[in-house]
């Protein structure tokens, strides 16, 4: 496979590429801009708590990748807690296509007391895909995980979120536990190219 990152100003060329055993994903870049506390509603099989979430950052197509580490701090054992969230409040500008999204989380200060057990992608309060039963210990490094999603026109204009949920512990009497995330990665979400957007085209 070969990957081509293209700006979709020349849709004739992309139509030809996509007709030749290729598929497209829109690039949603994580940024340093903070967000508020927002839950995804139906996202997560059992309501993933967003209490005191620090690692909530804005993502957008064509954005400037972040460079500042943000810390998530927890002082007691918890399960099914939101660990990181990335949100595009304006939507993708295009519908999600059925396919495989690729999510990335750059852990720059590792802590294996943090374990990601689920990653979900949603538009508004509707889940469009999730990867469950995970066991990703947050040691230092980029954590890459694929997520199968369904087609959904709501991705075009509704808020789109990528949410990491998991467990923290055992902490015991060891005091506050911290994991550091640097929001400098892309999430690649399947979508049909439209003019003026940045996509990655994968060719066989």
Report d(CA 68, CA 16) in Å as an integer.
Answer: 40
Backbone angles phi, psi at 145, to 5 degrees: -145, 135
Q: Report the DSSP beta bridge partners of residue 167.
A: 115
Report d(CA 63, CA 76) in Å as an integer.
Answer: 35
When divided into structural domains, the chain yields a total of 1
Is 159 inside any structural domain? yes
Is 6 inside any structural domain? no
Report d(CA 128, CA 18) in Å as an integer.
Answer: 23
Tens of each residue's pLDDT in the chain, 204 residues: 444 454 544 444 444 444 444 678 888 999 999 876 555 544 554 456 555 567 788 999 888 999 999 988 877 787 788 888 899 988 898 899 999 999 999 999 999 999 999 999 988 888 899 999 999 999 999 999 999 999 999 999 998 999 998 888 877 656 678 899 999 999 999 987 776 666 676 655
95: tokens are 């519908």
Report d(CA 81, CA 169) in Å as an integer.
Answer: 11
Is 10 inside any structural domain? no
Is 38 inside any structural domain? yes
Report d(CA 137, CA 116) in Å as an integer.
Answer: 6
- CATH number at 191 reads 2.60.120
Structural domain boundaries, residue 91: 28-196
- Cβ-in-10-Å burial (0-12, 13-18, 19+) of 1 comes to exposed
Report d(CA 111, CA 94) in Å as an integer.
Answer: 36
Question: Whole-model pTM?
Answer: 0.84
Is 85 inside any structural domain? yes
Q: Are 203 and 20 in contact (CB under 8 A)?
A: yes
């Amino acid at each position: 496979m070969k990957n081509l990152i293209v700006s979709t100003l020349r849709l004739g060329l992309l139509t030809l590429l996509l007709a030749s055993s290729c598929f497209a994903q829109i690039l949603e870049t994580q940024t340093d801009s903070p967000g508020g506390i927002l839950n995804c509603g139906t996202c997560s099989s059992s309501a993933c708590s967003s209490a005191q979430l620090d690692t909530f950052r804005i993502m957008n197509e064509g954005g400037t990748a972040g460079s500042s580490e943000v810390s998530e701090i927890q002082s007691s054992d918890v399960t099914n807690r939101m660990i990181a969230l990335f949100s595009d409040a304006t939507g993708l500008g295009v519908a999600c296509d059925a396919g495989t999204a690729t999510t990335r989380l750059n852990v720059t200060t590792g802590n294996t007391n943090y374990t990601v057990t689920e990653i979900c992608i949603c538009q508004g309060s509707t889940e469009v895909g999730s990867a469950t039963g995970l066991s990703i210990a947050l040691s230092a490094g980029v954590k890459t995980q694929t997520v199968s999603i369904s087609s959904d026109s709501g991705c075009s204009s509704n808020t789109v979120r990528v949410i990491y949920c998991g467990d923290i512990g055992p902490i015991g009497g060891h005091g506050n536990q911290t994991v550091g995330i640097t929001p400098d990665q892309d999430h690649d979400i399947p979508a049909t190219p439209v003019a003026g957007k940045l996509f990655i085209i994968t060719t066989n």
